[in-house]
Amino acid sequence: MPQLLLKKNLYGITNIALDNPRVTHYSRAITDIIKAHHSQPLIADIYIAMLHIIVELDWEGACHPSSSILYILYKELGFNPTLKMGEVQIDHRYFDHSWVEIDGSIIDASLISPINKSLGLNPIFLDINLDTLEHHQLTYGAVSSLGLSEFTEIIYHRPFHKYMNPFPWGLGKWAYVEAISNYLELGINVHSLLSKYKYTKRTMVRNQKKRKANEKNHLLR
């Protein structure tokens, strides 16, 4: 059975466990969603692998890196992803966020491990909240009175290749692309992608009427 091996630097390899009960539970729902949408199973396989990595590494607030990783993998396999960034509203609270959409449907793995647990967030796959198995209730692209944090603005304006590339050694965030590709036997040569995605841009979403926020959360990074 293939292993999900993450080589984060020159000195060690992390073996990502594939038996997390929460991810296993979500995997069953994801399989049903794929069938209902008549979508390609690889969309689900990549997403589930990303969930395993986030949970195993206890990677809280990983929206910016995880969305970038998913975007590259989906793009390489010929799907139609867009990499998006903006504010998200839940009830009267807001937070900065990044996510992926495929043909307009939201894919959001990082919500399995948000920094702010009090928000009661759950991962979303093709617009479906994996806890409720209903359409999510979040407003992606909402606009609060405070706007984006300085941290989010820096990531938005940072060239994609510099965001993804290693420092000071290893593959940087490309290591996660490589790990998932190897695990699923996708045959992606990560080194050939470094220049290909150099000019990738995130799409900033600000498509909701501006309103005053009762509470602003800049806690999901």
Instruction: Give the model's pLDDT for residue 208.
Output: 53
Rounded to whole angstroms, the Cα distance separating 157 from 79 reads: 25
Task: Tell me the three state secondary structure of residue 142.
Answer: strand
Task: Tell me the three state secondary structure of residue 215.
Answer: strand
Instruction: Give the model's pLDDT for residue 2.
Output: 74
Q: How far is CA 142 from the centre of its chain?
A: 19
Residues 107, 47: contact at Cβ < 8 Å?
Answer: yes
- Whether 1 shows a pLDDT value over 80: the answer reads no
- Whether 221 shows a pLDDT value over 80: the answer reads no
CB atoms within 10 A of CB 9: 14
Instruction: Give the model's pLDDT for residue 159.
Output: 94
Phi, psi for 173 (deg, rounded to 5): -75, -15
- Whether 61 shows a pLDDT value over 90: the answer reads yes
For residue 86, list its beta bridge partners.
97, 205
For residue 102, list its beta bridge partners.
81, 105
Instruction: Give the model's pLDDT for residue 167.
Output: 59
Rounded to whole angstroms, the Cα distance separating 6 from 201 reads: 26
Secondary structure element (H or E) that encloses residue 214, with its range: none
Please provide the DSSP assignment of 8-65 as one string.
Answer: EETTEEEEE-S--HHHHHHHHHHHHHHHHHT--HHHHHHHHHHHHHHHHTT-TT-HHH
pLDDT tens profile 72-113: 999 999 999 999 999 999 998 999 999 999 999 999 999 999
Residue with tokens 């603005």: 153
pLDDT tens profile 14-35: 899 999 999 999 999 999 999 9
Rounded to whole angstroms, the Cα distance separating 208 from 147 reads: 12
Rounded to whole angstroms, the Cα distance separating 19 from 8 reads: 21
Instruction: Give the model's pLDDT for residue 211.
Output: 42
The mean of the pLDDT values for the chain is 89
- Whether 157 shows a pLDDT value over 60: the answer reads yes
Instruction: Give the model's pLDDT for residue 13.
Output: 83
List C-alpha distances in Å: 144 to 104, 121, 155: 23, 19, 19
Rounded to whole angstroms, the Cα distance separating 64 from 1 reads: 30
